[in-house]
Structure 1
Amino acid sequence: MMKFCLRLVFVFILIFFLNIPAYAEKSPDNPSPADDDLILPLPHNRQMVFRPIFLGQGEAPFAQRSFRMGDPDGGFKEHPTEVSLSGSFLGQGKSGKDWLYYMAKYEVNQGQWAAVLGLAAPDQNATDKPITRITWFEAQQFLDKLNQWLFANALNKLPKSGASPGFVRLPSEAEWEFAARGGAGVSADVFDRRVPYKDRLSSCEWFAGPKSSHGKLKAMGRLKPNPLGIHDMLGNVSEMTGGLYMIEYYQGRPGGFVARGGHYLSSEKMLRSSLRTEEPFYIARGSAPPVPNQKETMGLRPVLAAVVFGDRSAAQSYADAWDSYRKGAGAATPAAVSTAPTSQKTQVSIDQAGQYLARLEEMAVNNPGMQQELGRLKSVMADVQFIQAKADGETAYAWFKIAAERGFFVYLESKKLPMVKQLIDAAKTGKREAMIEKLTTRLAEIEANISQSMENYTASLRQLETLGQAARQTGENRYLKFLLENDAAEQVRAAKLVTTHLEALVKTKRTTPEAWQNDLSSLGL
């Protein structure tokens, strides 16, 4: 008992003198604490809270997460585009060590702004509301002051990458959207949605109208967070990023800076994870000097990151891994190829090899022996392309068959639902408790069957999307011929829905399983 008391006293001493939190504690800067929050101190006893954003790709030096930014609903300004993202720190993820970066859990509030910049404290009613009416340049000044204060007063609190401590900055567009979509914390289908919430949007985000913001700025952290524990990501105020606006994200003409997300005056239908706006650095005023851009609806949410080459060890690990990475996983990243099907990605390499061969042929003009060998090599390459095309056709047929069969199963199971629900209602009327329980269990089984089949269906379409148009057409034609020969009219309708859904996926780069399920439940009738 005495030893236990002494240990308890020792723990309290550590907590008091070393400022080690015993548990996630609620504060004005963290109204919804979580155990895995990263809390950094600020001047005047304020705090800034960050959430870990894991990539789910392991600890290899070049481990990164490829995903599609954008949404077809956003038009050409949000055209789905493949990007690749990595983290700054290694942490303990769900399946071992994993790369991550940290994103602020809340938008920077007025109290934090004043504390860091040494300004007078805001009114008590405004201290926990996001800071607005600030310019992009003032945001940079704030972050500079914050980093200098942290390095001088809380260096041991900052996570490290190798020997280098982290620092606070504005997020890139990719960092912002990956976190907004739910990151590695959600399934691929949820990630593809406009918003990653199960609850009503009004429970999670502030937007215009009487059922949400009533046209007023709100205190941060009062609504439910997104799947990564981040609050007010898509609403309340739009958030500055560190990148220049380009229509195609990372290519094209650079413009102003990018603000992401909507705000308390945005309509509900506008809010989406892909929402992006070009903001000018300055507002022209005719003949008067321009003024820096600042808005009542725009604030900031920083990330905590680190330099890439934190020390010699990190630099060496990247150098050692580069060749194998570039020949392996790196060959399929956006830096190497676009979102084209696998066959087209392969064609890029074949075309490059053809260019090299053409150069060698020019060099071998006066060398008949080398010309003969180069001719044989070109013949082998042509054979490889033929074999690949045949294999792709076989693969497409297999995935098309799986998708059509799963889709038809969804139709068969969906037909059972109305009858089972009617029987449940009848059993409730007759107060037949045993029958109610049995039928409710059966209903749950049918719904689970449909859900599992839809997961398989969308997975099959994703696999088909990776193949070229010719291979997809070959697989479809072969399966339709099989069905017609066996006089399977209903299955033919299911197969044709696969084609319709696949065409939409290829075009938009987004799955829509809910709409697909509605189509399949009636076979499009």
Structure 2
Amino acid sequence: MARVCLPHIWVLILAFFLAVPVYADKTPDNPRPADGDVIIPLPDNRQMVFRPVFLGLGGAPFAQRSFRMGDPDGGFKEHPTGVSLSGSFLGEGKFGKDWLYYMAKYEVNQGQWAAVNGLPAPDRKTADTPITNITWFEAQQFLDKLNQWLFANALDKLPTSGGSKGFVRLPLEAEWEFAARGGAQVSADVFDRRTPYQQRLSSCEWFAGPKSSHGKLKAVGRLNPNPLGLYDMLGNVAEMTWGLYMIEYYQGRPGGFVARGGHYLSSEKRLRSSLRTEEPFYIARGSAPPTPNKKATLGMRPVLAAVVFGDRNTAQTYAEAWDIYRNGTGADTPAAVSTAPTSQKTRVSIDQAGQYLARLEEMAADNPGMQQELGRLKSVMADVQFIQAKADGETAYAWFKIAAERGFFVYLESKKLPMVHKLIEAAKAGKREAMIEKLTTRRAEIEANIRQSMENYSISLRQLETLDQEARQTGETRYLQFLLENNAAQQVRAAKLVAAHLQTLVKTKRTAIEDWLNELSTLGL
């Protein structure tokens, strides 16, 4: 009996201390099972696993997540652009009902491809590697076959939205990038990074070179996932999307289809969440007929989605909520406004009103009374602009002051860390355990102070970004004058860093929290 029970005891002890969950449903199609996996069956006892991608905005009918796609490092083809994204299903998020869509946890592998297409099972050595060398049209045919099989054999396994069952399709660019960046699971600063990983990129993605792929395609799910539990998002194989390529994402001249992410032959420095490539549907080969485009580095990762108006009740709910949405939160979506500062958006509206007034003045040329009233209205509008400009200047000063003070506090706290490190090493050398514990706690407190201050610093700069250049300049000048009058030379350096970092944010539309921290910790010296 002891021989039977002892191994189980050790398993329990190891699971307790190492916190390593043991899952019973590990399969070739789900090598890294986890809580929250949504599994749908495939023919031949295969599976396809999806992860929920929550928007983090609650369950209102028109809840949409506005964010910026792109990255300045990608040049004009990835210029930061505001987009808005909604989900297909209502689920239970961190704080109650929330909209979401489901993205495949892994890239479609060769075993799944064979099962859905009714082909012979591939060799075991390649069955769990991504399917490649397929055309965009073949990917669509695969998804069509899969949907028809699911509706005929596993309808109860599909999620439901508004009385409509979900279906599988290629992701939109916005869906892909939102998930690649970590979605609502990460902070705004992490979302803005080139990649959302805390670990080395080589522990999360396959790319070219001897420290990663060695130039070979790899089995899915062998490295660490991104914050949403998605594997191989940025490497291994590039992934097809649904949409046509447009330089500015959703406007401009449409071209081929869009592939997202890098692959096992991409350099490490090329991998980023914003990476996008235009792929032609056909390849011309001299005088021969063109052939559909297929590559050894291009695969697919579907999403689970649903139709918007699944039944009459859903359509009626949306109709009743439209005006409230459009005049409320919807007024701030990219569909209604650009990424310009708030004051600039207001000025555009006032300019439009001025154009309407000019037309009315022409119409009222023979009506002195109307001309007088229109003149009064123009005067009121001018007063509103003056009051707004003054208020924006006061707001900019307040946020600039907060940012500079937080930045200077980061500098002061950062100065303490080297001394604390030295004291810890000295305490270790003297084997003074109580002092080591005390100093380690103190170091953790300093690091926590720096993290919190950097979060506040980032928030302050984001608030300043919403104001126009004139207001920002007013706030900066006023605060620098205040510091000079009080002989605060070090604080002046902190304030100048705020101005530089704000200029970067306004230009790139991205925070650079690590770079900012490095510069603030020395005040740029």
TM range (shorter): over 0.9
Residue of structure 2 in register with 1:465 after alignment:
465
Residue of structure 1 in register with 2:259 after alignment:
259
Q: After superposition, give the CA deviation of every residue in 1:228-271 in whole Å (9 maximum; x if it has no partner).
A: 01111000000000111111111111111000000011111111
1:460 aligned counterpart, secondary structure: helix
TM-score in terms of structure 1 length: 0.94
Residue of structure 2 in register with 1:501 after alignment:
501
CA pair 486-348 structure 1, distance change in 2 beyond 3 A: same
* 1:450 and 2:464 matched: no
Residue of structure 2 in register with 1:485 after alignment:
485
Q: After superposition, give the CA deviation of every residue in 1:70-92 in whole Å (9 maximum; x if it has no partner).
A: 11111111111111100111111
In the TM superposition, residue 98 of structure 1 has moved relative to its aligned partner by 0.7
* 1:511 and 2:491 matched: no
Residue of structure 2 in register with 1:398 after alignment:
398
1:284 aligned counterpart, secondary structure: strand
Residue of structure 2 in register with 1:162 after alignment:
162
Q: Give, in whole Å, the separation in 1 of the partners of 2:156 and 2:356.
A: 53
Q: Give, in whole Å, the separation in 2 of the partners of 1:366 and 1:306.
A: 59
Residue of structure 2 in register with 1:326 after alignment:
326
Q: Give, in whole Å, the separation in 2 of the partners of 1:348 and 1:324.
A: 23
Residue of structure 1 in register with 2:118 after alignment:
118
In the TM superposition, residue 362 of structure 1 has moved relative to its aligned partner by 3.6
Residue of structure 2 in register with 1:79 after alignment:
79
In the TM superposition, residue 24 of structure 1 has moved relative to its aligned partner by 6.5
Aligned residues of 1:24 and 1:37 also touching (Cα < 8 A): no
In the TM superposition, residue 370 of structure 1 has moved relative to its aligned partner by 2.8
Q: After superposition, give the CA deviation of every residue in 1:458-515 in whole Å (9 maximum; x if it has no partner).
A: 1111111111100000000000000000011111011000001100111111111111
Residue of structure 2 in register with 1:437 after alignment:
437
Q: Give, in whole Å, the separation in 1 of the partners of 2:69 and 2:426.
A: 49
2:248 aligned counterpart, secondary structure: coil
Which residue type is aligned with residue 395 of structure 2? T
2:236 aligned counterpart, secondary structure: coil
Identity of aligned residues (%): 85
2:521 aligned counterpart, secondary structure: helix
Q: Give, in whole Å, the separation in 2 of the partners of 1:441 and 1:72.
A: 39
Aligned residues of 1:24 and 1:35 also touching (Cα < 8 A): no
* 1:39 and 2:29 matched: no
In the TM superposition, residue 163 of structure 1 has moved relative to its aligned partner by 1.2
Q: Give, in whole Å, the separation in 1 of the partners of 2:356 and 2:150.
A: 53
2:361 aligned counterpart, secondary structure: helix
Q: Give, in whole Å, the separation in 2 of the partners of 1:439 and 1:34.
A: 38
In the TM superposition, residue 62 of structure 1 has moved relative to its aligned partner by 1.0
2:350 aligned counterpart, secondary structure: helix
Q: Give, in whole Å, the separation in 1 of the partners of 2:171 and 2:68.
A: 17
Which residue type is aligned with residue 496 of structure 2? K
Residue of structure 2 in register with 1:9 after alignment:
none
What does 1:43-442 align with in structure 2 at a 5 Å threshold? 43-442=43-442
Q: Which runs of 5+ in 1 are unaligned?
A: 1-22
1:25 aligned counterpart, secondary structure: coil
In the TM superposition, residue 359 of structure 1 has moved relative to its aligned partner by 3.5
Aligned residues of 1:132 and 1:297 also touching (Cα < 8 A): yes
Q: Give, in whole Å, the separation in 1 of the partners of 2:126 and 2:426.
A: 56
Q: Give, in whole Å, the separation in 1 of the partners of 2:325 and 2:353.
A: 19
Residue of structure 2 in register with 1:19 after alignment:
none
Q: After superposition, give the CA deviation of every residue in 1:251-309 in whole Å (9 maximum; x if it has no partner).
A: 11111100000001111111100000000000111111010000000000001111111
Q: Give, in whole Å, the separation in 1 of the partners of 2:213 and 2:192.
A: 26
Q: Give, in whole Å, the separation in 2 of the partners of 1:428 and 1:145.
A: 65
Q: Which moved more, 1:111-120 or 1:478-487?
A: 111-120
Q: Give, in whole Å, the separation in 2 of the partners of 1:150 and 1:357.
A: 60
1:522 aligned counterpart, secondary structure: coil
Q: Give, in whole Å, the separation in 2 of the partners of 1:308 and 1:249.
A: 22
TM-score in terms of structure 2 length: 0.94
CA pair 356-315 structure 1, distance change in 2 beyond 3 A: farther
Q: Give, in whole Å, the separation in 1 of the partners of 2:314 and 2:298.
A: 37
Which residue type is aligned with residue 480 of structure 2? L
Q: Give, in whole Å, the separation in 1 of the partners of 2:86 and 2:358.
A: 37
Q: After superposition, give the CA deviation of every residue in 1:328-356 in whole Å (9 maximum; x if it has no partner).
A: 21121111121111111112222232233
Q: Which moved more, 1:190-199 or 1:377-386?
A: 377-386
Q: Give, in whole Å, the separation in 2 of the partners of 1:185 and 1:250.
A: 25
Q: After superposition, give the CA deviation of every residue in 1:3-33 in whole Å (9 maximum; x if it has no partner).
A: xxxxxxxxxxxxxxxxxxxx77111111111
Which residue type is aligned with residue 222 of structure 1? R
Q: Give, in whole Å, the separation in 2 of the partners of 1:119 and 1:361.
A: 75
Q: Give, in whole Å, the separation in 2 of the partners of 1:92 and 1:381.
A: 47
Q: Which runs of 5+ in 2 are unaligned?
A: 1-22
In the TM superposition, residue 41 of structure 1 has moved relative to its aligned partner by 0.7
Residue of structure 2 in register with 1:29 after alignment:
29
Which residue type is aligned with residue 31 of structure 1? P
In the TM superposition, residue 185 of structure 1 has moved relative to its aligned partner by 0.4
